[in-house]
Amino acid sequence: MPTEVQEETLTLEEILAGLKEMHRLILWNDDHNTFDHVIYCMIKYLDYNESQAEKIAWKVHNEGKCAVLEGSFTEMEIYRKILQQEGLTVSVD
């Protein structure tokens, strides 16, 4: 049985952005995720404790966004995809 491969293309801007040493994963406020779901995802995927995850959820709610992780572009892209699959609105800066 052949294996399907999903090809992802990057723009020149995305490639150049990948050359920066540190990138941030930004969690954005949206109208469809509950506090509980955001807290659950922060604990499960980013190893925050419950108190830290709750503070992040409130910051996103009150300020519209929150940087939740820093690291290489590749690492941030992996976490971005994971959190997007959970329905969260995230981007890499």
For residue 9, CA distances in Å to 44, 72, 76 come to 29, 19, 17
Mean pLDDT for the stretch of residues 42-49: 98
- What pTM was computed for the model? 0.77
Q: What is the mean pLDDT of residues 76-92?
A: 97
The pLDDT score that the predictor gives to residue 19 is 63
* CATH 3.40.50.720 is held by the domain 20-92: no
Rounded to an integer, the average pLDDT of 38-44 is 98
- Tell me: pLDDT of 40 over 90: yes
Task: Please return the burial class of 29, using the count of CB atoms within 10 Å of its CB with bins 0-12, 13-18 and 19+.
Answer: middle
φ, ψ of residue 17 to 5 degrees: the values are -65, -35
CA distance linking residue 43 with residue 16, whole number of Å: 31
Instruction: Label residue 14 by pLDDT band (50, 70, 90).
Output: confident
Give me the residue spans of the domains in the chain. Answer: 20-92
